[in-house]
Structure 1
Amino acid sequence: MDSQSTSSNTVSRTQTAQARTAQALVQMAATQTATALQAELTALFANAQRVFYDEFVDNRNVWSTSVFQDIELNLIEDGVFKVVWSGKDTSYEVYELSSFTDFIGEVDCRIARGGGDGSCGLIFAQQRNVGFYKFEFFIDYYRLSIILAEGEPVILAEGDPRRITTVGDQNRLRVIRQGERIRLFINDALAADLRDNTLGAGRVGVSTACYNAEGGVEVHFDNFGIRSLASGS
């Protein structure tokens, strides 16, 4: 083997080693970041105060269950809160007794029928005649929007959740708000981390939507909970 070939092989091996080292460092950083996040979440949950929880074994919390505008049927059965759409529209239900600034809100949601024509999600900072934030989940898309009483919705964050979700199964949605910081989670994976202070304290709830004029969307909710966080936590 001549000296040129030897030199070339040496460079190649060095580059390969450097690439592997770089990849290992990236993986290590990702692991450290995930570990730090999990530690932070564990501390947040430990210090949070559970304000509300409903696993929908019955309607003890008096959710609105009936037919609305002839196209929306809400009912609680089989241990879930079901919303069935026979037309195009959107609606939400909120926990009315308290408003929250710093909180953790969670719910399990399943798009049982309708595929990409339907969505489920969490709303928060809901203020009557003012607006709310809406964390909306589809089988192949999610977004956080500001829905104000006047003007068009503004999308603050969006993405494709399919790497962290399972079509047809329940997916756990979580919002953590601390001051102007808002974090969105899907199945415990961080989906978005942003800052916005357009809306302050408000109510937290669940939402659904049907985007097909013919309806055919059915959404199930379970294990809806709200925990309050101390300001500055």
Structure 2
Amino acid sequence: MRAIRQLHTGDPFPPTSDALEYPNGLLAVGGDLTPARLLDAYCQGIFPWYEEPQPVLWWTPDPRSVLFPEKLHISRSLHKTLRRDRLQLAVDSRFEKVMRHCAQLRGDGLGTWIGDDMLAAYCDLHHIGHAHSVEVLDADGQLVGGLYGIAVGRAFFGESMFSEVQDASKVALVALQNILERGGFKLIDCQVESEHLNSLGAENISRLDFERMLAHTIDIDHDPGIWRLPATCGELL
């Protein structure tokens, strides 16, 4: 079995071709979660996923689940939810709260991969303009759904989403699509395939194809003014 590279401060990532087949995509262990390290990772299609207090695990799975913004599937029921126009929208106003909602314990009692170190690291990325959140609010202005992720160039790396009322996370995704299409983004990285993401239009591509797409998108700047939304979900239609 191939040995996993141990990372120390300043060490570069190994080639992504060194990633294990099982567990799929495990590339390296250790290192830190500084903004520079994280941005270097995302630019290469690598992301951290681990449970604290264990060392950081770095992944680059093959195949890769991606969603092209223009291919987002809006079901008939989701279209009805949008048309009812009962949910409010915001962007980048409650980033830490969105992360904390995503980090709540799973129902199986196994805990979460979004620990204190991850929370602090992504809040740092948010403060320098690379991490963004989309928030869905009820009529009273209470946070009931949302998502967050990383924007580099014209690629968006989705990290997690949550929903406390029906369709709230899907509404957040439609809102994200609205932003990304205005900004000329080429793809949303969904990391690993799931039935839920597939139902929304995600598809698998090879790691090599994913890396080739990144190479043509991460260096193309986008207008930071795109990170705004209409007041309510009905205006997305």
Fold match, TM over 0.5?
no
* TM-score normalised by L of structure 2: 0.28
More strand by share: 1
